[in-house]
Structure 1
Amino acid sequence: MTDLTLSGAQVLLPEGLADTRLCLADSVIADAPAGREIDLRGFLILPGLVDIHGDGFERHMAPRRGALKEARNGMLATEAELAANGITTAVLAQFFSWEGGMRGPDFAEHVFEIVTDISRQVDTDLRLQLRLETHLLENFDRALRAIDRFGIRYVVFNDHLQHDRLATGRRPKRLTGQALKSGRSPEDHFAYMIALHQKGVAVPAALDKLCAQLLARGITLGSHDDHDAATRTDWAGRGVMVSEFPETTEAAQAAKDSGAPVILGAPNVMRGGSHAGNVSARDLVAMGLCDALASDYHYPALRHAAWQLAEAGLCDLPTAWAMVSETPARILGLTDRGRIVPGLRADLVVLEQATGRVGATFAGGRLTYLSGEAGRRFLL
């Protein structure tokens, strides 16, 4: 940890960009000059990014199908990629699912162990999200034990069963590929999915019980891919008060009406639409139906999406940047970060003003990334 005074840059304060010195001391933002002064003319300093949902780490954890033994080195590579993209707090979204392979409970617990260990060795704040499949009833108790063991504070519910096809006995789309990933034969995987689908009548009561247990622990709960208003209303009735990636305007509006924060995918903003044909994130932002953005599967998209929203005039820069810093931090209950205010954590990203390239990242006052002209100035 190094005390520093950063001068010459434009700093994104809660009220907007300002030409002001920024002082760092003892891991927090200070209100008086401290340590060595660094000239950062030509740069912007913004709050460090808080990524509330990202699964881009999967490509590092298993670089090829079946290569699941690279998880430790893969997580270290993930942390380096996060820092290179200005992300100072990262929620790693790990499936706990009937789908098996990298989404199965065994691999999930392996990831939880590695992240718990590595988080003590790195400065980026690595956190866990458990993504629980709603029909995996026989593993609800196991999921609860993992949540307690690893101190997981954010749980999100998914349902990836193709119920419309399973209800009529039709084989789901992409069955063979899913079966290969799960380690089952296509026939066994199909039979397993049918059995899970048939347990649907017991799912609501089981979810009621589990959500009550999680809420009693103070855990933040979210639903993923809400398709319609009724689905979102059902989740809200259980106290599941975060809506991740709603698929329709109706679902997003229902979330907003109930006071549930709406989280959208930054890649959707970058593309101008959903790759799955769902509602456009840009449209929802324009309608005021977005509270925060998440990297989803591509870490660079987080900062680029915020910048694009401001450039497109859909909102001003402080509002856009709050979607990737202050607001996700608040949703997670992290009140010590997300803004550049004296006394808060010194979580910062330094961007080249002309290009938007990341020159430096600070997490808790420690440099986690340094590159290019910014690097030269820090090392003078």
Structure 2
Amino acid sequence: MNQRIIRNARVVTADEEFTGTVCIEDGMIRSVDRGDTAVPNAQDWAGDWLMPGLVEVHTDNLEKHLSPRPGVLWNAHSAMMVHDAQCAAAGITTVLDSVVIGDLDAGGARCQTQHTSIAALHQCRDEGLMRVEHLLHLRCEVSAPDILEVFHQYADDSLLKLVSVMDHTPGQRQWRDLTSYRRYSERNGRYSDAEFDAMIAERKADQQAFALPHRKVIVQASRARNIPLASHDDTLVSDVELAIEEGVGISEFPTTVAAAQAARKAGLAIVMGGPNMVKGGSHSGNVSAAELAQLDLLDVFSSDYVPSSLLLATFMLGQLDGWSLPKAVRTVTRNAAHSIGLQDRGEVAPGLRADLLRVRMTQVGTPMVVETWLGAQRAH
């Protein structure tokens, strides 16, 4: 029997926070108790927080390593390993690597890395190279002409735990503001007015031709396989109503209060970005995570494109009226895990997998991950 006892820790359970002792046996949490222990060799955490490992349902962080500069494609195995190390250092013990399939930019980095990144995910897992557990989230750009061919290639992937249907056609959802869209789309090069207008017209034509038929096929195929579904950037109440009709369970990054309210009424899990919370608003000019949190319209945080944002956002959220640290921690642990059907993690509770964090507050008031444990094995 492999046993480890942690004492004098500031334990954060699903509902409360207290100084206590946690006993781990053979990779599982055996007991969680208030107060100290006299058991010899118990590890003293000196008042540091003991929290569940973070569960990440949507991160684009891998993309930054696959394409670190415009026109540069990096080795997928190297990118995966650095991404994995960053997740471990950020306290993320379960991560759904979000791979976009259906690239609106013909010949863009996403269409060039979608297959190599999924292959690297499997190969690195099979070789036991990962520090934390990586799973797959397919982000399906429904207005892309080639989406179905790629989707069917991975619909039965053993690691697939979430499918999201998204439509980034400018003029709606995330990109209602064409000025913001142009600024974002020109990050790697300028468009003339004529080029920009032609690109908008092409995107809208593809949406008209493909978006709804592709979405229908992807939703039906995912439901047939019992894969959780997410809608993306819901803006109008009608967007949420469509998701409800389709049996979608998650609303990722709703852009308006009205959409979030409709999602809450329907019982959809509402996901917002950690960077939105940390930076005080959306980079696209949409509703802020803090505003939705204050309206109790927030269930799950995603780190989106900054892994370290999960922990920062959690502690910021815990300071808002109506929130506590345990309630905030649930948004990055239990709520996230349950939204994708994982019931064996996400809490500091007996019988669950010992995915745990040791967290300390720095002198400048920033929470820092001191240790990350996956199934009681040190990952960071």
1:267 deviates by 1.0
Out of 90, 96, 105, which is 2:95 matched to?
Answer: 90
Cα pair 1:13 1:340 within 8 Å, conserved: yes
> In the alignment, is residue 239 of structure 1 matched against residue 247 of structure 2?
yes
Distance 1:330 1:105, change over 3 A: same
**Does residue 290 of structure 1 match 2:298?**
yes
Give secondary structure in 2 for the equivalent of 1:22.
Answer: strand
Partner of 2:57: 52
CA contact (8 A) 2:19 2:47 kept: no
1:345 alignment partner in structure 2: 353
> Structure 1 208/44 Cα, relative in aligned 2: closer, same or farther at 3 Å?
same
Are residue 204 (structure 1) and residue 209 (structure 2) matched?
A: no
Quote the Cα distance in structure 2 between the aligned partners of 1:155 and 1:193.
26
Q: 70, 73, 76: which one pairs with 1:71?
A: 76
Q: Structure 1 residues 80, 173: closer, same or farther in 2, change over 3 A? A: same
CA distance 1:82–1:114, shift in 2 (3 Å): same
**1:319-334 equivalent positions in 2, closer than 5 A:** 319-334=327-342
Counterparts of 1:1-380 in structure 2, within 5 Å, are 3-31=3-31, 36-96=41-101, 97-100=103-106, 103-120=109-126, 121=128, 122-149=130-157, 151-162=159-170, 173=182, 177=186, 194-195=201-202, 197-199=204-206, 200-353=208-361, 355=363, 356-369=367-380
Q: 1:194 to 1:134 in 2, by over 3 A?
A: same
CA positional deviation for 1:105: 3.5
Query: For the Cα contact (< 8 Å) 1:156–1:223, is it kept in 2?
Result: yes
Q: Structure 1, residues 47-69: CA drift from partner, whole Å, max 9, x if none? A: 11111111122222222222213
Q: CA deviation at 1:187?
A: 9.3
SS at 2:216's partner residue? Answer: helix
Amino acid in the other structure paired with 2:375: G
> Quick one: distance in 1 between partners of 2:184 and 2:87?
33
Shift of 1:317: 0.9
* C-alpha spacing 1:133/1:354, structure 2 compared with 1 (3 Å): closer
Question: Could you say if the C-alpha distance between residues 8 and 276 of structure 1 is closer, same or farther in structure 2, counting changes exceeding 3 Å?
Answer: same
Residues 168-217 of structure 1: CA deviation (Å, up to 9, x unaligned): xxxx8369858979xxxx99998686455324155323322321111000
Corresponding letter in the other structure for 1:26: D
Q: Which amino acid aligns with 2:371?
A: A
Letter in 2 for 1:337: R
User: Which amino acid letter does the alignment assign opposite residue 52 of structure 1?
Assistant: V
Distance 1:304 1:93 in 2: 21
2:264–2:270 contact (8 Å) kept in structure 1? yes
Give per-residue Cα distances to partners, 1:279-327, cap 9 Å, x unaligned: 1110101101111111011111101111011123340111000001000
Question: Residues 221 and 241 of structure 1 are in contact (CA less than 8 Å); yes or no, is this contact kept in structure 2?
Answer: yes
Q: Summarize the Cα distance change of 1:50–1:100 in structure 2 as closer, same or farther, 3 Å threshold.
A: farther
In structure 2, the CA distance between the partners of 1:342 and 1:162, relative to structure 1 (3 Å rule), is same
Counterpart amino acid of residue 50 in structure 2: I
Question: 1 CA distance for matches of 2:141 and 2:227?
Answer: 17
SS at match of 1:290: coil
- Shift of the 108–36 alpha-carbon distance from structure 1 to 2, 3 Å rule, reads farther
Unaligned runs of 5+ in 2: 173-180
Per-residue CA deviation, residues 51-95 of structure 1 (Å, 9 max, x unaligned), is: 111112222222222221322112111111111111111111121
Structure 1 distance, partners of 2:306, 2:40, is 36
Given that residues 266 and 302 in structure 1 are in contact (C-alpha distance below 8 angstroms), is that contact kept between their aligned partners in structure 2?
yes
Pairwise CA distance, 1:27: 1.1
| Aligned length, in residue pairs | 361
Distance 2:202 2:288 in 1: 34
**In structure 2, what residue type is equivalent to 1:115?**
L
Q: 1:374 is matched with which residue?
A: none
Contact 2:53 2:333 in 1 (8 A): yes
Residue 176 of structure 2 is matched in structure 1 by: none
Give 1:363 deviation, angstroms. 0.9
Identity across aligned pairs (percent)? 28
SS at match of 1:305: helix
Cα distance 1:347–1:102, how it changes in 2: closer, same or farther (>3 A)? farther
Structure 1 residues 214, 189: closer, same or farther in 2, change over 3 A?
Answer: farther
Instruction: Say whether the 8 Å CA contact 2:254–2:272 is kept in structure 1.
Output: yes
* Cα separation, 1, equivalents of 2:185 and 2:369: 41
Unaligned stretches of 5+ residues in structure 1: 165-171, 370-380
Q: Is the 8 A contact 2:98 2:137 kept in 1?
A: yes
Tell me whether 36-45 or 287-296 shows the greater mean CA deviation.
Answer: 36-45
8 Å contact from structure 1 (residues 245, 262) kept in 2? yes
Output the CA distance in 1 between the equivalents of 2:337 and 2:108: 27
Larger mean CA deviation between 148-157 and 97-106 belongs to 97-106
Amino acid aligned to 1:273: G
User: Which amino acid counterpart does residue 370 of structure 2 have in structure 1?
Assistant: G
